[in-house]
Amino acid sequence: MSGRVGVSGVDWALERDLDRSVAAARETRERIAGFVRATPLLELDAVGATTRLLKLELLQRTGSFKVRGAAAALTAGERPQSVVAASTGNHGLAVASVAAAMGLPCRVFVPAAAAPAKLALLRSSGVELVSVEGDPLLAELAAREASEQAPGTLLVPPYNDPRVILGQATLGLELLEQLADPPDALFVAVGGGGLISGVALAVRSRWPRCRIVGCLPAASPAMGAAVAAGRIVAAPLRPTLSDATAGGIEPGAITVAICAALIDEFVEIEEAEIAAAMRAALLEHSLAIEGAAALALAASLRERAGGRQLVVLGGGNVGAQTLRNIL
């Protein structure tokens, strides 16, 4: 299934018409400008033949890139009466923030096993929380069902929505402006695929030779398994430091086709590598990053090809106990 967008009654597949998708992302960027901030690039000292550039999306409002997609969905079309979302933390925080700014009531479905630090942040945001046992995918399905039963309620999916993907594409547009020359490789964490889909849509036509690498926790590699099989399949789900990318993929997710078309390769990262990347970010660069951001950094640190490597650090909502555990 392709991700499709409707403009003036005309539909197109996001990944098959990049020019039109980039134009839609530019329009989205203008529309959400009041809700997001441009985040900086940090160039690290070269290590041998490798130069790393870190996109510090952990400095984004609500502490992660997710506010881009949330704002894009909530500002498109007619104003809803209320908002529903499902999240392991970051997406819920983003939706709650935008909904509050718009004066809209918000309900967020969360997995019962979500990271305590993120649950605490959600509770402090004032949203109504609904806890769902099991795979994070079950929280997504419960949120969708709740929205269908409440007229006037807008469901803001974490990744399976073209508006959300175009919101994440605004990060890619920033990268194009911040870098005069394309990097050799771009590393992005992957859960449901919303971030990497959006970034790839924005940069692929301008950076045709840049290798786009999707970074998955070996404990939960659902998107890699789906792309390899050509359909959504059952994948392992074990505890992981990368809680933001854990869980299955919603049936019919449009991100699968986009990832299959635009991502060059997927790599699976072990838990020890995630922890090591979190330690390196904190101790060497004074950056407190969460496990999902560490996926991308760990994949870059594993890389032996050298060159200019661009690493998207997607979030910094990590609890003190988690940091103590990895130190």
Handedness of CA 75, 78, 80, 83 (dihedral sign): negative
Residues 49 and 189 reside in one and the same domain: yes
Q: Which of 25, 28, 27 has its CA nearest to residue 15? A: 25
The residue type found at 288 is A
What is the pLDDT, as a whole number, of residue 125? 87
* 167 and 284 part of one domain: yes
Residues of the chain with pLDDT below 50 are: 1, 7-9
pLDDT for the residue 8? 43
E strand map for 70-175: 82-86, 106-111, 128-132, 153-156
Q: What is the CATH number of the domain that holds 175?
A: 3.40.50.1100
Residue pair 253/2 in contact (Cβ under 8 Å)? The answer is no
What is the reported pLDDT for 6?
A: 56
- Chain center to CA of 154: 20
What is the domain extent for residue 308?
4-65+161-326
* Half-sphere CA count of 137, side-chain side, radius 13 A: 18
Q: What is the maximal distance between C-alpha atoms in the chain?
A: 58
Q: Cα separations (Å) of 71 from 92, 102, 171, 309?
A: 12, 10, 13, 29
How many domains does one find in the chain? 2
**Residue 291 · residue 273 · CB < 8 Å:** no
Q: Are residues 91 and 179 in the same domain?
A: no
Q: To which residue do tokens 């999306």 refer? A: 57
| Domain boundary residue, one of 123, 156, 189 | 156
3-state secondary structure (DSSP) of residue 279: helix
- Alpha-carbon span 240 to 124, nearest angstrom: 25
Per the structure block, which two tokens stand in for 23? Answer: 């134009």
Last residue of some domain: 156, 187, 202? 156
Residues 6+ apart with CB under 8 A from 105: 82, 83, 99, 128
pLDDT at position 174 is: 98
- pLDDT for position 77: 87
Q: How far apart are the first and last CA of the chain?
A: 43
Distance (Å, whole) CA 159 – CA 193: 6
Of residues 19, 101, 103, 41, the one with CA closest to residue 67: 101
End position of a domain, from candidates 156, 171, 193: 156
Are 187 and 55 within one domain?
yes
Q: Give the C-alpha separation, 96 to 49, whole Å.
A: 43
